[in-house]
Structure 1
Amino acid sequence: MARPRNPLLSHERIVAAALRVIDEEGLAALSTRRLAAELGVSGPSLYNHFATKDELLDAVVDSVVGEVDLSMLGRDPWPEALRAWARSYRAALVAHPRLVPVLASGPGRRPHALRLADAVFGALVDAGWSPGEATRIGALMRYLVLGSALGSFAGGFPQDAAAYGDAYPHLGQAHLLAERQQQVDEGAFETALDALLIGLRAKFPAGARTQDQGSARRRKAGRSASSGAS
């Protein structure tokens, strides 16, 4: 039997191709016709895997969310866990910034997104935060991560020094921001994350503080015992 000219379609192959189209050309470029051309297949064959474009887009978004590391949640002390998780979440989104507007609508029924929300909420409640506080903290962390990944602050400034002049006396160095985009944007995110966690530490319930410290000691003791047994 002759081998097929093109590799057989799969859920994973379609999602990867759709993500490439979005990364390179934007959300508006994603269509059945464009995706079929990318894959070298006929348009109708895609419907065997995804009934609608929205269903496909959900799968693409969820594949990116699935790249976020959740292993520290429930394992490390909550401030360190939130910091490491937020960095991983932002890194996944910065790699695919054109998907951020879709993510802003919420997790919907996407499995990886719901798993992420469950892990963050559970880790906070287990640490001693009330369910209401854990919900609000999860929301504000999400606002920070999505907002920082949505676009570049530094990249939005003209690199032409003449664009500022005497009319903007405090922006004499603003033309340098664009070439330092990564440094400025990552620094802003880390500053906001530091400030947020400092504020949360101060707000952490006094009764739960002892519980969290005891949990940290037990985790450390468990790791030490594991190291000694290996």
Structure 2
Amino acid sequence: MSPKAHSNSYEIVQSYGSLVPLFDFLFHNPKPDEICRRLMVAYYYKAQLFQWFGAATDGVINAMHTIVGRPLDRRFPVNAIKAHFGKSHDTELSAGHLISIRNRHILLNVVYLDQFGTSPFHVSYKANEPHIDHIYPQSGLRNDMGLSVDEINHLGNYRFVGAKDNHRKRAEQPASYFGRLKAAGIPIDKHLLLTAESNNPKLLAWEVTAYRSFRDRRLEAIGTIASRVLNAELRAKSE
């Protein structure tokens, strides 16, 4: 599979060593409940996004064993893990992480798994691996609206799309493209994330103000989803 966007690629799994504490925990704490599974997912994405295993992997794994390698009443100890890494790494998702290009594959993966529950693509077929696609085509944003690279290559304007559809889409304007998808019964809300535009794709107007409004509101929606997943331990405190 292409490393551009597939969930098994180095863009998503930046350290396979980070999986070891999950196996270690499950050996001592089988059959985790729903809250525990959410905490394990939060740990996994934090480890990738914040590069917790970026150096001295053996030492980090040994330190994690002292935290997770025992019966823990099936509650994954993400707070203890955060305390370990908090001296030198980020431990909670913040707005600043949303604007880093390095994070775009991981954050889109979070959103698409949350929205679809699985990959929305036939990823077993090499020709249809997920690509990162600009919702508002970059050529038009650059040539018609004169926008900068930073305004165009923005997480709020990114989505995953299967390679086949990406090749067919080309530079079609979003109101037309998503209008056709909606008419065909495709759940465009899971891509656009915004209720108004999902109900009425004509709101994806081809002008700067509409684009910036859509992009920024969609970034906020991505942040809400990603925060719920990555900062699950904050939510679990009240459960």
With structure 1 as the length reference, what TM-score do the two structures score? 0.23
With structure 2 as the length reference, what TM-score do the two structures score? 0.23
Higher strand proportion: 2
Higher helix proportion: 1
Larger relative contact order (CA 8 Å, sep ≥ 6): 2
